[in-house]
Amino acid sequence: MTLLYMLLPAAMALWAYRQGLRDGMARERGKPPAPVITPPKRKPKPSPEQKRWEQIIDNAEKYDGTANGQKKVTK
């Protein structure tokens, strides 16, 4: 565990140094620096047709031979 505590900060310092060199070289060339972490993209809202099919699939999964737990599917 002590070895991990010794190597991890050294690896992080090396990574930060290299990232700084890349950003500095990009600035010198007039380019914006590349993002280190890219945020996740938002999922598009489901269309009414997708919602309808999800409801149909949910009803099929909940089916037990009776109408219990079934929801009405809208068109």
Looking at every residue in the chain, the average pLDDT score rounds to 89
The string of pLDDT tens digits covering residues 25-55 is 888 899 887 777 888 889 899 999 999 999 9
69 — pLDDT class (breaks 50, 70, 90): confident
Distance between CA atoms of residues 21 and 37, nearest Å: 17
Which tokens go with 73? 């599917």
